[in-house]
Amino acid sequence: MLSRTADNLFWMSRYVERAENIARVLHAASRMASVPGTSDGITNEWESALAASACLDAFVASGREVNAENVFEYLAFAEDNPASIRRCLEIARSNARAVRTALTYDTWEAINGAWIDMDRFRSADVSPSGLNRFISWVKEVSLRVDGSAYRTMLRNDAYWFSRLGVYIERADNTARILDVKYHVLLPETEPVGGGLDYFHWSTILRSVSALTAYHWVYRDSIKPWLVADLLILREEMPRSLASCYANLATFLDELARTYGRQGESQRQARRLHARLRNARTEEIFQGGLHEFLQSFIAENNRLGTAITEQYLV
pLDDT tens, per residue, the chain with 313 residues: 788 999 999 999 999 999 999 998 888 888 877 766 544 544 577 888 888 888 889 999 999 998 888 999 999 999 999 999 999 999 999 999 999 999 999 999 999 999 999 888 866 566 767 888 899 999 999 999 999 999 999 999 999 999 999 999 999 999 988 877 665 555 556 666 677 778 878 888 888 889 999 999 999 888 889 999 999 999 999 999 999 999 999 999 999 999 999 999 999 999 999 999 999 999 998 998 889 999 999 999 999 999 999 999 8
Picking from 153, 168, 195, the residue at the C-terminal end of a domain is 153
Query: How many Å apart are CA 281 and CA 234, to the nearest integer?
Result: 11
Q: Are 179 and 267 part of one and the same domain?
A: yes
Q: Are 258 and 282 part of one and the same domain?
A: yes
| Torsion sign, CA atoms 255, 261, 265, 270 | positive
Give the global pTM: 0.90
Query: How many Å apart are CA 210 and CA 8, to the nearest integer?
Result: 30
Q: Are 160 and 133 part of one and the same domain?
A: no
Q: Are 80 and 222 part of one and the same domain?
A: no
Q: Are 125 and 223 part of one and the same domain?
A: no
Q: Are 196 and 254 part of one and the same domain?
A: yes
Total domain count, the chain: 2
* Residue ranges making up the domain that contains 194: 155-312
Q: Are 170 and 260 part of one and the same domain?
A: yes
For residue 279, give the amino acid letter: A
Query: How many Å apart are CA 1 and CA 11, to the nearest integer?
Result: 15
Q: Are 131 and 231 part of one and the same domain?
A: no
Residue 160's pLDDT is 96
Query: How many Å apart are CA 111 and CA 90, to the nearest integer?
Result: 9
Residue 153's pLDDT is 94
